[in-house]
Structure 1
């Protein structure tokens, strides 16, 4: 369908990647606060399950890159994970910053009237369980809100779990490489958006997404030339690290 006939899109056009991009330790509350100080109104984060079923923010399967921990994050209890330093890797300014639970970040967003894009980032083997848990938590926290979070994943099984857990919440399929069954897969999981590597968007792919009733979102866009090209193509949202460069009201 033409873009003008798509249902109203309730989310901001600009989304801050992992809170504040590279300016603060990713997926921490400190990053969210910094992104908000730059005027951003929607944030992307990565959520996964601890071994005892607590949802927390972390991108990688392993702990080494962004914490002082070792090994597979999903194999640790929340009690262990809560003790880790998730800020020193970035800079001394953020030393001691903890890993946050998804619930803590969600409540902060709700209290400040900010929108959230939760990427379901499961530990391998927990795709369906992670999607189910994220959706159930989000449905509980956003109950009664006019607009809930956007739940996205590269993993179809995670999207299936999210649909089972809260079918009313918006879902998006993430793609890093082109795949011929993308639109079919998005329809299968009742998605409202395709969230693609910016290289995948061109006039035909944006038009195909819109014709299928899907919004077109792009990641991770960090320069003005690329952002300008995407807006001209008619994309509906851009995820960026450059919270200090782009005006989120633009």
Structure 2
């Protein structure tokens, strides 16, 4: 007589049971991811204020993000020669958007904000995209504004306060360049400690400690922020470039002194080790395993910069906690279609809010 375990009927029953188990697990896993954001407002972030709609990193863009009901304004900081914080993604005035007092677009790499005073920076307009450029092609829907200058961090906080919106958050990046191989980006880089202390002083002045997130690819600034005020949330930005090593020492230049090899190359574990509250990777590299790992460590996941509707929906279904996008209007439509809970749109009086 054959042993029961070796009969075809038994083997068939085992395979069937395994298939049922795997199927039930898959359904449960999919449902758990779909329900990950149930019962809370999804973090819809306007990248640079929403540069597909308004000139990037201007008060017009930030006002638009508030009116559009975004959860968070995402923006960027540079530290000027006279110690002021201005909001600009690039450390130099962009030849695609910046014009001088005669209306002429500036030359490439001519004006470094970090070597200029605030008064000097104020003389340039950044509200009209230069026709014929790749930037214009990608953001042609942004409205022209002929009086848009690069704002200060204080002006962002004052705009938010004047809007009456006491909930919107601000995810603000220290644009810092720690790689010695990056030429002038590194040569004129702001001192990380001075940068973070200047940021912290303004945050405290406007009582925005629970409204701001400090994000950066340069994890030195995130570690410094936690030393100065552990309560302020930090977001560890991540891309393939985050694995860059110093050509002389072999150290990871962006990771604030961490050796990624100590974490078996796990970027989420490394971000957790510096006390980051949020893991913020380039969306195309984000995996289910990273989302699960970050959540298990008590961190949120907010990928950047997502402009395709199909990708927005896919990431929402993955269970991410937020999405950063150039197009707030499109993001709202997609998230609403996915069943996300969103903040309502707002109306308020402001010279920077267009009809």
The TM tier, using the shorter chain, reads: 0.7 to 0.9
State how far apart, in whole Å, the 2-side matches of 1:55 and 1:238 are.
25
**Structure 2: runs of 5+ lacking an equivalent:** 1-31, 100-105, 131-141, 178-185, 244-264, 336-341, 344-355
Contact kept, 8 Å, 1:19 with 1:34, in 2: the verdict is yes
Q: What is the CA–CA distance in structure 2 between the aligned matches of 1:92 and 1:16, rounded to whole Å?
A: 16
Written as runs of structure 1 = structure 2, the 5 A alignment for 1:170-249 is 170-177=233-240, 180-247=265-332, 249=342
Distance in 1 between residues matched to 2:40 and 2:196, nearest whole Å: 22
Shift in Å, 1:218: 0.8
Is 1:77 equivalent to 2:107 in the alignment?
no
**What is the aligned counterpart of 1:89 among 121, 129, 153?**
129
Q: Report the structure, 1 or 2, having the larger helix content.
A: 2
Structure 1: gaps (5+ residues): none
- Choose which of 61, 81, 101 in structure 1 pairs with 2:91: 61
Q: Which one has the largest radius of gyration?
A: 2
Q: Deviations over 1:87-139 (max 9, x none)?
A: 12367831221110011102212333222111111364323322232233223
Q: Is the 8 A contact 2:48 2:56 kept in 1?
A: yes
1:25: how far off?
0.9
C-alpha RMSD of matched pairs (Å)? 2.6
Looking at structure 1, the residues matched to 299 and 176 of structure 2 have their Cα atoms a distance apart, in angstroms, of 24
- Quote the Cα distance in structure 2 between the aligned partners of 1:79 and 1:243: 32
Aligned positions, number: 243
Single out whichever of 218-227 and 116-125 deviates more from structure 2: 116-125
**What's the counterpart of residue 51 of structure 1?**
81
What are the within-5 Å matches in structure 2 for residues 129-208 of structure 1? 129-142=194-207, 147-177=210-240, 180-208=265-293
Indicate which of 57, 63, 66 corresponds to 1:33: 63
2:161 is aligned with 1:110: yes
Structure 1 or 2: more strand by fraction: 1
Cα contact 1:131–1:160 (8 A) shared by 2:
no
Cα distance in structure 2, aligned partners of 1:138 and 1:201: 31
Q: TM-score, normalised by structure 1?
A: 0.86
TM-score, structure 2 normalization: 0.62
